[in-house]
Chain A
Amino acid sequence: MILVWPILIPLLSAALLLLLRRWENVVRWGGVVSSFALLAASIVLLLRVVAEGPVAVQIGGWEAPFGITLVADLLSAAMVLITGIVAVAVTIYGLAEIDRREGWHGHHTLVQALLAGVCGAFLTGDIFNLYVWFEVMLIASFGLLVVNGTKKSADGAVKYVGLNLIATFAFLSGVGLLYGVTGTLNMADLSQRLEGRQEEVAVLVSAMLLLFAFGAKAAMFPVFNWLPASYHTPSVTTSALFSALLTKVGVYALIRTFTLIYDLDVPLVRGTLLWGAVATMVVGVLGAAAQNHFRRILGFHIISQIGYMVLGLALATPAALLGAIFYLFHHIIVKANLFLIAGAARRMTGAEELPQIGGLYAARPLLAVLFLVPALSLAGIPPLSGFWAKFLLVSASLEIEAWFIAFAALAVGLLTLYSMSKIWLEVFWKPHPDGPDAITGSVPTAMMIPIVGLAVLTIVIGLGAGLFVDAALIAAGQILDPQAYIDAVLGGRE
């Protein structure tokens, strides 16, 4: 039953917070309490999965493959855990940032609804149910984008909504075709029924439709344009939540479907993923180099980093998949933290346009040091977590003698360092254009707690990388040999 709680807790609290919205403080703190409950449930789930291997539960008592199955292997459980961590960080940060009006319009409720959708997507074992959780997540993110009521976020939302809906319909058509070919929607069952049928036209078409859909959700080249158009427009709390989780759900769905359901050895699928990933890395980092807005730079870097993760999947060796999974975790923590710091910097300096701000190193040295931790980690400087993530992927591509890909991955890392040093120079090092007195006040404690917490986590992952690599190795093993997963879902129904 533990599988149900990570979905049920945020879903119930979303409903509850909506009913209680008259009491502002109850709603604000209710979100934090619910996030802690989610974190606790996810820890219990992870311990269970570590002890027993993949676990599954049949909802409503309908046996698989007829009913809807919830299933967690190590990857799913770990993704839920990291969702819990991000949820706690973001809701605490929101205590200081979200104003009364945005809270009244439903920010806290929508955050919980989004978390429910994300956890549902990580835990479901049914491809149509995955579609439904994607929609829960999507409609909650639509709401979160517009609740601060500015023209800017409405403009961003138009692009976000318009482009994401196309991906949604591609997803739906792909699922329909897949059902037409196999007569089942259960992912474990699909995996068995498609054995030896991967080259059939209908299977390939559904694979490409799902690839397009998940690629668009993950912001892969060339369907990433919704991300830089919208991620800098809502409140920082919302931005951080989006940057940590939304695209990563797309990556997770890619990893899940293209190992469990589809076969990566089909040249069309593999080639599209591989070169799509390389183009995503390069275009994202070049886009970032051209920007002058704190959060827009970070937004383009999400795209670039998504390329690394998909690359790990597309290389399709155990070492590369291990790298992709490690990257996924490291990136969620680091990127959320960078967005949170961008919000703190805006609070101190009053703007996000790099030419208009500066002087933070002199005024708030602690914040500057805290920025350096995730920034250098993102660029891949040892011994921080990003170094190990990049090291695993580059060595995996060198192992199969993919020289060009290894070169691209390293070059993109260098350009990432350029972007991060640009932010460092402009925001922290150079004096504020309005003089040193422009920065007043201090960063609220509720903002500092998650920033410090995530920075510590980044250092811990970097220094204790061995433990995390071992865990990712087990997760990658379960993904490449999904027999335990299939047995957990179908339960020896042979």
Chain B
Amino acid sequence: METIVAVLAGLLVAGGAYLMLSGNLVRYILGLAILSNAANLVIFAAGRMSEASPPLIGYGAKAPAPGVANAVPQALILTAIVIGFGLFCFALTLAYRVFYAMGTARMDAMRIAEPREENE
């Protein structure tokens, strides 16, 4: 199972990198979103997958019954998803603002902060 998820993560990185290289800001951001999901899968696979019961602690008990899944990778991924979602929203808003201000989504054409040198 880990192997399949690892290969899937690799494919997602490849797809994300392809989108990011296209030179279009919107595609770049979508590529980043795919990359963030690949990172989440890496944590998931590295945390070992097993057929186990959910890590819930029964009422009144102080520890879960034996044979529950490891909850730490899930907690890490949950945190990473929330953070990734926030960053993704910011990036999309920024892309919209930039497109609105410059009239283009091509990253090579965005040269306001670093203008091309005049030929001297």
Q: Which residues of A does B touch, CB under 8 Å?
A: 128, 132, 135, 138-139, 142, 146, 151-159, 161-162, 165-166, 168-170, 172-173, 175-177, 179-181, 185, 228-230, 232-233
Contact in complex: A228, B110 (CB < 8 Å): no
Q: How far is the CB of A85 from chain B (nearest CB, A)?
A: 29
Contact in complex: A176, B94 (CB < 8 Å): no
Contact in complex: B73, A158 (CB < 8 Å): no
Query: How far does the alpha carbon of A152 sit from the alpha carbon of B101 in the complex, in Å?
Result: 10
Contact in complex: B80, A172 (CB < 8 Å): yes
**Could you name 28 residue pairs across A and B whose Cβ atoms are closer than 8 Å?**
A138-B87, A142-B90, A146-B97, A152-B113, A153-B113, A154-B101, A155-B110, A158-B25, A158-B95, A158-B98, A158-B107, A165-B91, A168-B87, A169-B32, A169-B36, A170-B39, A172-B40, A172-B80, A173-B39, A173-B42, A176-B46, A177-B42, A179-B43, A179-B46, A179-B47, A229-B113, A229-B114, A233-B113
Interface of B is mostly: helix
Contact in complex: A228, B114 (CB < 8 Å): yes
Query: How far does the alpha carbon of A146 sit from the alpha carbon of B77 in the complex, in Å?
Result: 29
Contact in complex: A166, B90 (CB < 8 Å): no
Residue of A nearest to B110 (CB): A155
Contact in complex: B36, A155 (CB < 8 Å): no
Q: Which residues of B does A touch, CB under 8 Å?
A: 25, 28-29, 32, 35-36, 38-40, 42-48, 72-73, 76, 79-80, 83, 86-87, 90-91, 94-95, 97-98, 101-102, 107, 110-114
Query: A170 contacts which chain B residues (CB < 8 A)?
Result: 39
Contact in complex: B43, A175 (CB < 8 Å): yes
Query: How far does the alpha carbon of A128 sit from the alpha carbon of B80 in the complex, in Å?
Result: 10
Q: How far is the CB of B84 from chain A (nearest CB, A)?
A: 8
Query: B28 contacts which chain A residues (CB < 8 A)?
Result: 162
Query: B83 contacts which chain A residues (CB < 8 A)?
Result: 132, 135
Residue of B nearest to A154 (CB): B98
Residue of A nearest to B35 (CB): A169
Residue of A nearest to B86 (CB): A139
Query: How far does the alpha carbon of A170 sit from the alpha carbon of B17 in the complex, in Å?
Result: 13
Best-buried of B25, B28, B39, B111 by chain A (most CB within 10 Å): B39
Query: A168 contacts which chain B residues (CB < 8 A)?
Result: 87
Contact in complex: B94, A157 (CB < 8 Å): yes
Contact in complex: B32, A176 (CB < 8 Å): no
Contact in complex: A169, B38 (CB < 8 Å): yes
Q: How far is the CB of A124 from chain B (nearest CB, A)?
A: 14
Q: How far is the CB of B88 from chain A (nearest CB, A)?
A: 9
Query: A128 contacts which chain B residues (CB < 8 A)?
Result: 76, 79
Query: B90 contacts which chain A residues (CB < 8 A)?
Result: 139, 142, 161
Query: A228 contacts which chain B residues (CB < 8 A)?
Result: 114
Query: How far does the alpha carbon of A15 sit from the alpha carbon of B98 in the complex, in Å?
Result: 28
Select which of A154, A165, A232 is within 8 A of B32 by beta carbon: A165
Query: How far does the alpha carbon of A388 sit from the alpha carbon of B107 in the complex, in Å?
Result: 43
Query: A179 contacts which chain B residues (CB < 8 A)?
Result: 43, 46-47, 72-73, 76
Residue of A nearest to B44 (CB): A176
Query: How far does the alpha carbon of A176 sit from the alpha carbon of B102 in the complex, in Å?
Result: 39
Select which of B35, B76, B98 is within 8 A of A155 by beta carbon: B98
Query: A185 contacts which chain B residues (CB < 8 A)?
Result: 72
Best-buried of A161, A185, A228 by chain B (most CB within 10 Å): A161
| Given A158-B95, A166-B32, A135:B46 Cβ within 8 A | no
Query: How far does the alpha carbon of A161 sit from the alpha carbon of B110 in the complex, in Å?
Result: 14
Q: How far is the CB of A409 from chain B (nearest CB, A)?
A: 28
Query: B76 contacts which chain A residues (CB < 8 A)?
Result: 128, 175-176, 179
Contact in complex: B32, A162 (CB < 8 Å): yes
Residue of B nearest to A178 (CB): B46
| Given A142-B90, A155-B110, A162-B32, A180:B98 Cβ within 8 A | no
Best-buried of B29, B94, B98 by chain A (most CB within 10 Å): B94
Query: How far does the alpha carbon of A161 sit from the alpha carbon of B33 in the complex, in Å?
Result: 13
Query: How far does the alpha carbon of A157 sit from the alpha carbon of B98 in the complex, in Å?
Result: 9
Query: How far does the alpha carbon of A176 sit from the alpha carbon of B73 in the complex, in Å?
Result: 8
Closest 10 CB pairs of A and B: A180-B46, A176-B43, A156-B113, A172-B39, A155-B113, A155-B112, A169-B39, A173-B42, A176-B42, A173-B39
Q: How far is the CB of A142 from chain B (nearest CB, A)?
A: 6
Interface contacts beyond A139-B86, A176-B42, A180-B47: sample of 20 additional A-B pairs, CB < 8 Å, sorted by A: A128-B79, A152-B113, A154-B94, A155-B112, A155-B113, A165-B36, A169-B35, A169-B39, A172-B36, A173-B39, A173-B42, A173-B43, A175-B76, A176-B43, A179-B46, A179-B72, A179-B76, A180-B45, A228-B114, A232-B113
